[in-house]
Amino acid sequence: MKTAIPRETIQRLPKYLAYLKEISGQQIEYISSLTIAEYFNLTPILVKKDLSKVSSIVGRPRVGFLVDNLIKDIEICLGYDNMKDALLVGVGKLGSALLSYGGFQNYGLNIVAGMDSNPNLVGTEVSGKKIFSPENAEALIKRMHIKLGIITAPAAEAQAVCDFLINAGMKGIWNFTPAHLKVPDDVVVKNENMAESLALLSVMLQKR
C-alpha cells in the first residue's frame, strides 16, 4: 500500500499526528476518519484516502482506527522513527536558536553540527554542537553521508552555501533565509520563510 504518497497528504500527516497524540493522551482508543475530518474541516473521503496511503490497517466500520496503531504508522511513514542527520550553516541568532532547540529529535531530525565561515566561531560549541569551518564541514558531510542541510546564513550568502552543500553531496535543503534558491532537479528545497509570515500578520493587523 505504501507507494507514492502525494505531497498534500504528507503535509496533512503531521497535523493528524498531533491530533491523534492529543486524543491518545485523553485515553480515547478508537477514532473514525469522520471525526478527524470534522476536526480539520476536511471531507471524510479525503481523510480516508490519506490514511489508506499510510496504514494498511483498514478502519472498522462505525468504530474506526485504533489510535495508537495509527500514530505508529504515521510516524513510520514520516520517517520519525528513523533519525536523519543534518548540518546547519550560519551560526547567527536564528542558527544558534535552532542548534539549541531540542524538539527536532521528536521528528527524527538530529542536527549533528554547525558550520560558519567566521573564524571566531569555528571550533566553538553551541549547546554541545561543534561549529566547523567550511573545509572541515565538507569532510564531515562526506564521511557521515549527511543528506540534509539547514541554511540560516544571511540571505546574500544563501545561494553560495546551497551550492556548496549540494556539491558536498546533500539532497535536501531547509532554507530559513528569504533567498530564492536554485537547485538541480534531484535536490529538494523547503522554504521556511518567517519573514513572509510576519509580513502577512503585520499587514493584516494594520488593516483592522
Binding site for a second copy (CB under 8 A): 4-5, 7, 10-11, 13-15, 17-19, 21-22, 25, 39-41, 77-80, 84, 92-94, 97-98, 100-104, 107-109, 147-148, 155-156, 171-172, 174, 177-180, 186, 188, 190, 192-208
Q: How far apart are CA 141 and CA 136, in angstroms?
A: 9
CB of 61 to a second copy, least distance (A): 26
Q: How far apart are CA 114 and CA 59, in angstroms?
A: 44
CB of 47 to a second copy, least distance (A): 13
* Unique residue bearing C-alpha cell 493522551: 25
Nearer to a second copy, 33 or 177 (CB): 177
Contacts of 3 (CB under 8 A, 6+ apart): 53
Helix/strand/coil percentages in the chain, nearest 5? 50, 20, 35
CB of 164 to a second copy, least distance (A): 18
Nearer to a second copy, 98 or 122 (CB): 98
CB of 197 to a second copy, least distance (A): 5
Nearer to a second copy, 43 or 193 (CB): 193
Q: How far apart are CA 179 and CA 137, in angstroms?
A: 22
Contact 2, 77 (CB under 8 A): yes
Nearer to a second copy, 62 or 185 (CB): 185
What are the C-alpha distances in Å from 116 to residues 22, 77, 86, 90, 166?
39, 33, 15, 5, 16
CB of 66 to a second copy, least distance (A): 20
Contact 173, 183 (CB under 8 A): yes
